[in-house]
Amino acid sequence: MISVNLVYEYHKFAGELLSWFFSIPNHEQCWLGRRMKKYNFGIFCILILWAGTIAWAEQIQYGIVDDANDKKTLLLRDYRPKPMLHTEVHLVQRPKFPVIDVHNHVNDAMGIDSERLPPAKVVEIMDHCGVQTICILTGMWGEQLQQVIDRMVKPFPGRFMVFTQLDWSKVNDPNFSQLMIRQIRESVKRGARGLKVLKDLGLEVRDSSGKLLPVDNARLDPIWEECGRLGIPVAIHSGDPEAFFQPVNETNEQYEELVGQPTWQFSDHQKFPRLPEILAAQKHIFLKHPHTTFIALHMASWPENLDYVAELLRRCPNVAVEFGARQAELGRQPRRARRFFLEFQDRILFGTDYTVSEEMYRNHFRWLETGDENFEHWDYPSLGRWMIYGLELPDLVLEKIYRRNAERIFKGFRGTSSGGGQ
Ligand SMILES: [Zn+2]
């Protein structure tokens, strides 16, 4: 393009000069005319060359652009491209069926959610966007648990549930299992309706020799059994996204998330087990305790590998999964995810793991209910610089995922009457 333009401009300019030169009237009459006639050909050649040089210089502009360097240093975190795609947008104000969010930390005992909301405000948000019940998973135990129950559960019947946790500070006590069984029974008496196990089991909790306690450590077996006896689910989070176990460099798809959260980096395999190793231990306890119901949080911690999760669910009928903070992962593989949701429609629970807000819930409803394309997941861009696609689930499946599956699990509660309360 440049060379064609150049030739064209050059000829145009040279042509104009030529016609000017021959239009000078009566060369003999003036000094300039006489000189021109004398050096006719030489002047003409110089003019043509000069015109060519100007045309050339005007066409190729490789000079320095003042703000070029500023443009080159746009940081990844500032890059928010707006899709120019024209797509249908179906915002879902309220879900088709009332929702139970089984994975939340709102006003919990640990302060996982940095933002504390007035309890009545939380209920108002829930009412506005069709959320019937929220499970507060990190309720701890003892007095701290009691505070969550008094602040959130008791004043709003049916709107909140709370789970208890294990006290890992006692892990090296020879009676750890018995201590925890007693603690769980006491928590259930106070009102807890499940046990939550954070990812620190398998990645952080160490025995007295300093070794990481594997998820399937035999000392924990009586605890899982007790939960089965009480009829409370064990909501367990083991491992983390696959990319958290990879080196943090330009090839890591969770680069932005990991540079912001250095404690989530588990790529040093001298210090941490690999993800499949952790998940094998998790599967081991699912198989070993078939009378205990497990909620494998974050899509059994491997939504990047739904074939694995499918196989896990086929082998372990006592396991359900929930998708808290994994919407991005599922939303980027809508066809595989939809097949998965249809096949395991009785085994998937609605969970978010995000700070409660109307927009957050509506973003999830849009993802589950509509076939909208190429929109931002709730954690964009942190949990992935990609867009998601709606699953357009049938009503029957939606109702199960929104609430029926969770209701069925919580109906299994046998309470302390089965001997657990003694
Ligand atoms: Zn969580």
Q: How far is the CA of 198 from the centre of ligand 1 (A)?
A: 8
Q: How far is the CA of 153 from the centre of ligand 1 (A)?
A: 19
Q: How far is the CA of 37 from the centre of ligand 1 (A)?
A: 93
- Per the DSSP assignment, residues forming a β-bridge with 387 are 376
Q: How far is the CA of 106 from the centre of ligand 1 (A)?
A: 10
Cis peptide before 241 (omega within 30 of 0): no
Yes or no: say if 396 and 346 are a contact pair by the CB < 8 Å rule.
Answer: no
Q: How far is the CA of 314 from the centre of ligand 1 (A)?
A: 25
Q: pTM for this structure?
A: 0.83
Query: What pLDDT, on the 0 to 100 scale, is given for residue 422?
Result: 36
Q: How far is the CA of 342 from the centre of ligand 1 (A)?
A: 25
pLDDT in tens, 42-51: 665 565 677 6
CA dist., res. 136 & res. 144, Å (int): 13
> In a structure prediction context, what are the per-residue pLDDT tens digits for the chain, which is 422 residues long?
344 444 445 555 555 655 555 555 555 566 665 665 666 656 655 656 776 666 665 666 667 777 777 777 888 888 889 999 999 999 999 999 999 999 999 999 999 988 899 999 999 999 999 999 999 999 999 999 999 999 999 999 999 999 999 999 999 999 999 999 999 999 999 999 999 999 999 999 999 999 999 999 999 999 999 999 999 999 999 999 999 999 999 999 999 999 989 999 999 999 999 999 999 999 999 999 999 999 999 999 999 999 999 999 999 999 999 999 999 999 999 999 999 999 999 999 999 999 999 999 999 999 999 999 999 999 999 899 999 999 999 999 999 999 999 999 999 999 876 444 33
Q: How far is the CA of 416 from the centre of ligand 1 (A)?
A: 27
Query: Buried (b) or exposed (e) across 129-152, using 16+ Cβ within 10 A?
Result: bbbbbbbbbbbbbeebbbebbeeb
Q: How far is the CA of 229 from the centre of ligand 1 (A)?
A: 25
Q: How far is the CA of 100 from the centre of ligand 1 (A)?
A: 15
Query: What pLDDT, on the 0 to 100 scale, is given for residue 4?
Result: 43
Q: How far is the CA of 27 from the centre of ligand 1 (A)?
A: 94
Residue 319's φ and ψ, nearest 5 degrees, are: -115, 135
Q: How far is the CA of 348 from the centre of ligand 1 (A)?
A: 16
Query: What pLDDT, on the 0 to 100 scale, is given for residue 65?
Result: 74
Q: How far is the CA of 280 from the centre of ligand 1 (A)?
A: 21
Query: What pLDDT, on the 0 to 100 scale, is given for residue 98?
Result: 98
Q: How far is the CA of 420 from the centre of ligand 1 (A)?
A: 27
pLDDT in tens, 337-376: 999 999 999 999 999 999 999 999 999 999 999 999 999 9
Q: How far is the CA of 114 from the centre of ligand 1 (A)?
A: 13
Yes or no: say if 387 and 89 are a contact pair by the CB < 8 Å rule.
Answer: no
pLDDT in tens, 301-321: 999 999 999 999 999 999 999
Q: How far is the CA of 201 from the centre of ligand 1 (A)?
A: 14
Q: How far is the CA of 411 from the centre of ligand 1 (A)?
A: 23
CA dist., res. 258 & res. 25, Å (int): 80
Q: How far is the CA of 248 from the centre of ligand 1 (A)?
A: 23
Residue in the structure block whose two tokens are 């029926």: 404
